[in-house]
């Protein structure tokens, strides 16, 4: 089994994302995780919207965050996105938000699924569905 680096994206903290203490607002951390997830999925799909043609969409079922260090206006952070698939209808994403000096500022864990937009139900085997839709899962996962 070979290990790869997780997907990464850099984000600059904007002043309107700060709370009254001058820290990054708690909800924005979640937004940064979502930005990383969406960008990783877009890259894995090759820019194609094959899920929509199959009447599927990713859905966020749960999100949990642990705050480690403060982030302030003007900081640039790196946000990772790494997906883990198992059996069943759900899969998981983890994100690390790090300052450019490597300081871990927050960790986010998410539970996700693929929803059949007509039936409004989660589908079985989301990994297989993504693969059949042409997704390169090497972009999303760090192991084979």
Interval 69-74 mean pLDDT: 95
- Position 3 scores a pLDDT of 75
- Position 50 scores a pLDDT of 85
The pLDDT tens digits of the residues spanning 14-37 come to 999 999 999 999 999 999 999 999
- Position 15 scores a pLDDT of 95
Q: 85 pLDDT exceeds 70?
A: yes
More confident residue, 78 or 87: 78
Name the pLDDT band for 41 (thresholds 50, 70, 90): very high
The pLDDT tens digits of the residues spanning 102-140 come to 999 999 999 999 999 999 999 999 999 999 999 999 999
Interval 91-97 mean pLDDT: 97
Q: 1 pLDDT exceeds 60?
A: no
Separation CA 103–CA 99 (nearest Å): 5
Q: 2 pLDDT exceeds 80?
A: no
């Amino acid at each position: 089994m070979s290990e790869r680096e997780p997907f990464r994206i850099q984000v600059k903290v904007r002043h309107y994302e700060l709370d009254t203490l001058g820290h990054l607002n708690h909800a924005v951390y979640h937004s940064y995780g979502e930005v990383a997830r969406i960008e990783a999925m877009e890259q894995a799909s090759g820019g194609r919207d094959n899920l929509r043609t199959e009447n599927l969409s990713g859905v966020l079922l749960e999100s949990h965050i642990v705050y480690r260090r403060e982030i302030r206006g003007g900081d640039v952070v790196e946000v990772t996105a790494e997906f883990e698939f198992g059996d069943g209808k759900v899969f998981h994403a983890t994100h690390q938000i790090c300052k450019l000096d490597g300081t871990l500022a927050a960790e986010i864990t998410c539970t996700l699924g693929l929803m059949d937009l007509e039936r409004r139900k989660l589908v079985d085997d989301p990994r297989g569905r993504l693969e059949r839709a042409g997704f390169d899962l090497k972009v999303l996962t760090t192991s084979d």
